[in-house]
A and B are shown apart, each in its own frame.
Chain A
Amino acid sequence: MYRTLNGEEIFVVDAHTHLWDASPANQRNKYGRGWIDCFYAYHKNLSPPDYVWPLEKYEKYSPEDMVHDEFVKGYVDLAILQPTYLTDFYINGFNTLEQNSVMKKAYPDRFILNGAFDPRDGERGMEELRRMKGEWDIKGVKLYTAEWRGNSKGYKLSDPETYHFLDECIRLGITNIHVHKGPTIYPLNRDAFDVADVDDAASVFTDLTFIVEHCGLPRLEDFCWIATQESNVYAGLAVVLPFMQPRPRYFAEVMANLLFWVGPDKILFGSDYALWEPKWLVEKFAAFELPEDLQTEYGVDLTMETRKKILGLNAARLYGINPEEQVAKTRGDTFSQQAEQMYAA
């Protein structure tokens, strides 16, 4: 819960978080090294100096670090864990459902655990998806279409095999499909930033919600076009938000575009923890206003009501969370108490 200077309370869902292990012991090859080095450059480049971690901690942080940064320091009421497997780069995976489940087990009221599938895994992958549903009752999956799998360097949402899995998602009641379309690792033989396959799948699977993480950056304008065509396409703000700090004007332009094309009900806040810490992102975003020229040109405004939707209410709706009940559940817990103490002074 974030309280503004005039005492207004904002319910916060961090819709994009990870508990990863990129320690040297878990790195399978030079790609594992290269992956975390690249993440660290994003972190270092776009975090305020006080929020830059040492590399060693960044490679592998503890569950205690995570709950502190999210729920005590970071104002977050509820965090969604999004897995990224990368088993070709990391021996035990980078941030699998199993790795993330440590958090869900320890703090069930504070986390939503998402699963994943990869259509290239065939029947075995289908079984695994059913197991995730059975064991964890997952409501969403995170898909990484640019992931390497042996000789294959990626897949598309429009592939027939993917359709097969999306059908199964409908059957199982897994309705939130988070798709990584952002700065990516390997668009070798195809343009993996390309969001056209989301358009295709979203128009076929109208019962599913497609949350395009990182708003399809660096193809934002293509993404916006798709999102106006398909009512079930949402924008995840992870990676976009940190630009509030060094480039507020760009961030304002992105927000004006998203509000115009996608609309205030279909944008989700996400820190991409531990890429960035939620504390400063929440503080800055809760106070962010659009310059007048952009308000006029686009006919949109980033009002407090809209900021509340983006910071928590939209994600809550997608995941069937009642904000009042959720707050009641965690009101007395250790993290709420610690947060009260931290911010009382």
Chain B
Amino acid sequence: MPRNDLASAETGIRTGTTSTREAIITPEQIYAAIADVLDPELDETLVKLGFIDSVRVDGPDVTVVFKLPTFWCAPNFAYLMAADLRSRLRTLPGVRATSVVLLDHFAEEEISSGINRGLSFGEAFPEDACDEDGANLEELRRTFLRKGFLMRQDTLLRKLLQAGLDEAAILNLRVADLIVDELADAAFVTAPGGVVRLDKAGRSSMLYLRKGKLLGLAQGEQERLIIDDEGRPIPPGGLKDFLRRSRSVRMNILFNTSLCKGLFQTRYGPSQSTAASEADEGENV
């Protein structure tokens, strides 16, 4: 539906007779539906990164157009993002046809048409002889889920240390000891000496718990709060080694994010990306 029709639909004035009231979808609904789609490698949403170029609504048919930092961005990652966009669009009530379009990419045709035909990555690139590992995007997704988990955990651990908790106290914490105030971006931890407030740790803590859940790790109220990405506790005295690894994971993600955001802005101009806060926060721990 062209923009002027859309505006009139929003104000309740019907200009056409073909669409029914139930089938009207707004751009805001689309943005809400795709709000949580991540660039898996950067662990940041496409919307915040500015990668969503535009959305189009034509009656019950919807299109999302997205673009990436370089002409050469890895097609398997691009395919993951496109697949996630498509699956979110299909949850919109009243939606009929969905279309996802990738712009300015060397494999834009294969990716856009493959996704819109519901093909797997391997089916979309048949002549490229995908091996088992490469074709399995779920494995890739899980790898980055793990990295995202460790990154958020690193922030939480460092905030706990900065607040003065020692290793034994940290490793003894239970899931129920952590309460998150997302709005204030703060976390509250019940430690042996009382409740400790951790500023700028709310978002990370929430994502840490969420990613742990997605990884299928045990997170009952009385389970340990700090576990590795396989669900195992950190051995006593092992926190220092663990932190070196988790820092390198976090640092690597932030480094990539900085590179990709810079390239995206060089390509499409400044003010395309709004995801500055996370990286800045990451620099301070």
> Residues of A with Cβ closer than 8 Å to B?
30-31, 34-35, 37-38, 41-42, 44-46, 151, 153, 183-193, 217-221, 224, 243, 246-247, 249-250, 253-254, 257, 260, 297-298
B252/A41 in contact, CB under 8 A: no
Does B259 make an interface contact (CB < 8 A)?
A: yes
What total count of A-B pairs have CB within 8 Å?
110
A38-B72, A41-B266 known; A224+B129 contact, CB < 8 A: no
Q: Is B254 an interface residue (CB 8 A)?
A: yes
Q: Is the CB of A254 within 8 A of B130?
A: no
A250 touches B72 (CB 8 A): no
* B243 adjacent to A218 (CB under 8 Å): no
| Cα separation A129 to B252 with both chains bound (whole Å) | 36
Q: Flag if A243 contacts B258 (CB, 8 Å).
A: yes
| A246 in complex: contacting residue of B122, B258, B267, CB < 8 Å | B258
Do residues B76 and A187 form an inter-chain contact, with CB atoms below 8 A?
Answer: yes
Query: What are the residues of chain B within 8 A of A42 when measuring CB–CB?
Result: 263
Indicate which residue in A31, A46, A224 contacts B248 across the interface (CB closer than 8 Å): A224
Give the chain A neighbours of B36 by CB distance below 8 A: none
Asked if A190 contacts B258 (CB within 8 A), the reply is: no
Identify which of A184, A189, A257 contacts B128 (C-beta below 8 A): A189
Q: How many residues of B contact A (CB 8 A)?
A: 39
Task: Pick the contact of A189: B71, B131, B245 (CB < 8 A).
Answer: B131
- Whether B249 sits at the interface, judged by CB under 8 Å, is yes
* Residues in chain A near residue B242, CB distance under 8 A: none
- Say whether, besides A220-B252, A250-B254, A186 and B72 are in contact (CB < 8 Å): yes
Residue among A30, A34, A38, A221 having the largest count of chain B Cβ atoms under 10 Å: A221
B48 in the interface (beta carbon within 8 A)? no
A188-B41 contact given A30-B106, A183-B259, CB 8 Å threshold = no
**A-B pairs with beta carbons under 8 Å apart, 9 shown:** A34-B106, A35-B72, A184-B74, A188-B125, A189-B130, A218-B41, A218-B259, A243-B259, A250-B254
Report yes or no: A219 in contact with B252, Cβ–Cβ below 8 A: yes
B205, chain A: closest CB distance, angstroms:
22
Q: How far is the CA of A190 from the CA of B262 in the complex (A)?
A: 26
B residues 247-285 near A (Cβ < 8 Å) are: 247-249, 251-252, 254-256, 258-259, 262-263, 265-267, 283
Given contacts A187-B76, A220-B255, 4 further A-B contacts (CB under 8 A): A46-B262, A151-B128, A217-B256, A253-B251
A residues near B256, Cβ cutoff 8 Å: 217-218
Task: State A257–B254 Cα separation when bound (angstroms).
Answer: 14
Asked whether, in the complex, the Cβ of A41 is within 8 Å of the Cβ of B248, the reply is no
A144-B130 Cα distance, complex, nearest whole Å: 19
B20 within 8 A of A: no
- Of residues 66 through 125 on chain B, the ones whose CB sits less than 8 Å from some CB of chain A are 70-72, 74-76, 106-107, 122, 125
Please report the C-alpha to C-alpha distance between residue A218 and residue B256 in the assembled complex, in whole angstroms.
6
